[in-house]
Structure 1
Amino acid sequence: MDHFIDRHRAALISRVPRVERILDHLLQNGLLTDEQYDNVRCTPTSQDKMRQLYQYVRGWANSNKDIFYEALRTNNVPLIQDLQNSEMVHRANNPRLQETCTTDASSPTERSMKQEEKAKNKVLAPTYLRDALTCLCCLDIFTDPVTLPCGHTYCMACITKTWENQHEREASCPECRRSYLKKPELHRNYRMCELGEAYRLHQEDASHNSE
């Protein structure tokens, strides 16, 4: 079974707010070199720091990952508890599937059509997923996504810049044009953030494996 920090890589990258203490702990335990420590520290955001840190974590043994986990747990108790609880709920709601003896009574032609449809959907799925995770302002995968009251999601920087260019007393959604007399408070969409990070990591892994 994958290590906890591997199973929750996307969530940890998107939700760990402060990375400095974790870096200090890893440096003191000899898991990072001075150069690696400086490389992570110089990145601008917490997400970038965690993303860079995971580049080094990729090749660690589980014993080293245990030290990383302890650093995360010590400095982010509510987050780690939330992830552990989500695992417990997932296991409770997904009992081991039992083998069944059902027989597919469809004709060979029908089975062939089903297989072709599955293959087609498998090819198209990454495209649909990217479209769902793309900000309509910058046309890139969401970075620090926020959701407006109308339900549409944008990068924090994108919607902020858009509103700066609008009339100071009016803010609107670029997609549905719903107007707000008072700019709504922006809150991060953590689920969309995690999905975006998971997609980026999947693409990185696919690129790495193809080399």
Structure 2
Amino acid sequence: MADSIYKKLLDVQTELKAPKSQFNKFGGYTYRSCEDVLEGLKPLLKQVKATVILTDEIKLVGDRYYIEATCKFIDIETGEVLENKSLAREDENKKGMDLAQVTGSCSSYARKYALNGMFCIDDVKDADATNKHGKEDNSKSHSQVETSARKLSDKQLSRLYAIANKAGADKDLVKQQVMKKFNKEVKDLTKPEYDLVCNGYEKAAEKTA
């Protein structure tokens, strides 16, 4: 009797090794790319007789476009499928990149985190998604760079509270709503989550105007 798709997924999750082989010289940290994860997956997928397919879809959320990546884990013996999705949005103007490169970078990021969710890879400490490309002080320690990369700036927080205020929500209410929706503090929101919250309050403000 063939193993269930869940048993196969468990086998891959427990055996997968995806070392952080990439190095960001500006931030001074190592990280793993989507390609690193896929290279580690290929031999394991062959062993359990399964395959992975990655696809992208452009999603319009409010007035902003996101790449939604879908990771499908397919049992080739039974045809059963498990899937996991991830959203990502890059800066609209990224220095040194044309529009196609920005989209490609966003796709790779979304795909990596779709893979991470499927195969239980913890990238919380990775700072590649919020790389400052040399704008950070290189004398900072690795942990300091990661911490500053993950936190929203005071300017971003002020913008969020100002938008919310126009929609009739004070700072305390914003904190309560963010905690209820994302189970985290406002300052700990990711950039996509931050954009979603701002967009929601902007639309609410338009309705009350």
TM-score by length of 2: 0.25
* Higher helix proportion: 1
* Higher strand proportion: 2
The structure having more radius of gyration, on CA atoms, is 1
Of structures 1 and 2, the one scoring higher in RCO (CA 8 A, sep 6+) is: 1
